Amino acid sequence: MLKNVLPNLIRLTKIFSLFSILSGEINIYSHRHYDSDKILFKKFTQQTGIKVNVVKGSADQLIQRLVTEGENSPADILLTVDAGRLERAKKMGILQSIDSKILRKNVPQLMRDPDNNWFGLTVRARVIVYAKDRVKPTDLSTYEALAEPQWKGRIAVRSSNNIYNQSLLASILAANGSDSALSWAKSVRGNMARSPRGSDRDQARIVASGLADIAIMNTYYLGVMSNSPDITDQEVAKKLGVFFPNQDGRGVHINVSGAGVTASSKNKKEAIQFLEFLTSKNSQEVFAKENYEYPLKVRKNKSKLLKSWGKFKYDQLQLSILGDNNTDAVKIFDKAGWE
Strands (E), 51-158: 52-56, 77-81, 119-131, 155-156
Q: β-strand 26-30 against 52-56: which pairing, if any?
A: parallel
Cα(184)–Cα(168) distance, rounded to whole angstroms?
A: 12
What is the closest distance, in whole angstroms, from the C-beta atom of residue 9 to other proteins in the complex? 6
Q: Does 10 bind other proteins (CB under 8 A)?
A: yes
Element (H, E) at 239: helix 231-239
Nearer to other proteins, 131 or 252 (CB): 131
* Choices 14-22, 95-103, 130-138, 250-258 (CB under 8 A): range interacting with other proteins: 14-22
- Indicate which single residue of 105, 152, 281, 307 sits in contact with other proteins (rule: CB under 8 A): 152
Q: Does 331 bind other proteins (CB under 8 A)?
A: yes
Q: Does 9 bind other proteins (CB under 8 A)?
A: yes
Closest alpha carbon to 103 in 274, 264, 263:
274
Report the site for other proteins in 47-106 (rule: CB under 8 A): 53-58, 60-61, 63-65, 67-70, 72-74, 88, 92
Q: Does 334 bind other proteins (CB under 8 A)?
A: yes
Nearer to other proteins, 27 or 171 (CB): 27
Cα(116)–Cα(99) distance, rounded to whole angstroms?
A: 7
Residues 259, 119 contacting (CB under 8 angstroms):
yes
Q: β-strand 119-131 against 26-30: which pairing, if any?
A: unpaired
The amino acid occupying position 60 is D
* Choices 170-178, 205-213, 239-247, 293-301 (CB under 8 A): range interacting with other proteins: 205-213
Cα(265)–Cα(247) distance, rounded to whole angstroms?
A: 42
Cα(36)–Cα(312) distance, rounded to whole angstroms?
A: 24
What is the closest distance, in whole angstroms, from the C-beta atom of residue 101 to other proteins in the complex? 31
The amino acid occupying position 215 is A
Report the site for other proteins in 174-203 (rule: CB under 8 A): 192-199, 201
What is the closest distance, in whole angstroms, from the C-beta atom of residue 104 to other proteins in the complex? 29
Nearer to other proteins, 157 or 275 (CB): 157
Nearer to other proteins, 72 or 282 (CB): 72
First to last CA, the chain: 52
Q: Does 110 bind other proteins (CB under 8 A)?
A: no
What is the closest distance, in whole angstroms, from the C-beta atom of residue 300 to other proteins in the complex? 28
Q: Interhelix angle for 326-336 vs 178-191, to 10°?
A: 50
Residue 219 phi/psi, 5-degree rounding, is: -65, -40
- Indicate which single residue of 107, 172, 206, 261 sits in contact with other proteins (rule: CB under 8 A): 206
- Indicate which single residue of 97, 109, 209, 227 sits in contact with other proteins (rule: CB under 8 A): 209
What is the closest distance, in whole angstroms, from the C-beta atom of residue 312 to other proteins in the complex? 25
Give 3-state DSSP helix, strand, coil % of the chain, rounded to 5: 55, 15, 30
Size, binding site for other proteins by CB under 8 A: 60
The HSE-up count of residue 189 (CA atoms within 13 Å, CB side) is: 18
Instruction: Give me the residues that bind other proteins (CB under 8 A), please.
Output: 1-2, 9-10, 13, 16-17, 20, 27, 33-34, 53-58, 60-61, 63-65, 67-70, 72-74, 88, 92, 152-154, 159, 161, 163, 166, 192-199, 201, 205-206, 209-211, 224, 327, 330-331, 334-335, 337, 339
